[in-house]
Structure formats: structure tokens, C-alpha cells
Structure 1
């Protein structure tokens, strides 16, 4: 969708309630609709975050899109059986809110 700008993406990532400090932001995948970035923080828990910039031409109602994703994610979280020692986040998307909610 666009060229990668480290500072812009890192600034966007800082708007979310991520644990630790951001240590890297890199393009992830090769999607044709949205831009996706892998965000790694100083919290060494084996978790990285995916940040997506939504294409507003394809998805003009971003609030509605996020609402639908939240509903599906909650439904899947209730249905997935997690093996011992695994986290639900290993199997189902976890939505991370922005600092503003």
C-alpha cells in the first residue's frame, strides 16, 4: 500500500498500550490492501505485536470493521480450547487498545 517509514510506524505503535519499550518495527508480510508491521518490545515474553494500517478506500467504516473484529475475536476466544501451558493469545487474535481507549 505504501513505502515503509520507520518513524511514522513507530509513532503509531506508541499510541497503543504495549508492555515495555518498542525496540523494533518491521514490515510484515506482503499484503495488497493493508500495511502490516511486526512490533517487538523490551518485554521478553515471546510475544510480538502486529500493527495494521487499514486502507480507508477499501474499508471506509473502520469503526465498524474494528467492532466486527472484536465480536469475532471474543467469540473465538470462548470456543478455542487451550492446551495446558499455552496462552489463548497463541491461538486467537488479541486486540490491544490505544492509550486513549
Structure 2
């Protein structure tokens, strides 16, 4: 079973998941630790679930057209949309909350 390491706001969450798991689906049904994942539409339209891939990106398929449209240049910085990823191998992701508006 793949292990997902998820980093958010200085916290580290780690969990084995079934192969072919989508983290946004897991977040939606409140399965630990993925309720901490920021997401909204789950369809690649809003990019709220954008995460930086720290490790394991070599096992991911190339970005699809939704990721290219939503992330643009952020793809070069290692960002991917969690809603478009079906986890098949160990992966480490990071997602920090945006700074609060002043």
C-alpha cells in the first residue's frame, strides 16, 4: 500500500492508503489525515487543492490539461492538483494555507 506524507502548516501527517486512492475523495469523507487538505470542487476547476510534490513525483503521470490550465508556471515549481492524482506509489506532498488577508 502506498504511503502518503502530507505536510501542512508545520504539521506532518502520514498514512498508508489503498492503491489508486484520490486524496480529495478521502478528504471529502473525512478519513484521517486528509480532512486537513484544502480543496473545493474536486474536478480540476478551482486549484484550491494545489500541492507541492516533495517526493514521489517521478511515479505520477504527466500533468493533464486541467492541471496545465489551472497551474500554468506553478507546474515548473512542482505543484500538482491533488484532485487529479490517483495515488499508486509513495508520495510526499505539502500544502500551506494562504496568508490571511489584512
TM-score normalised by L of structure 2: 0.26
Q: Structure 1 or 2: larger strand share? A: 2
Larger Rg: 1
Highest relative contact order (Cα 8 Å, sep 6+), 1 or 2? 2
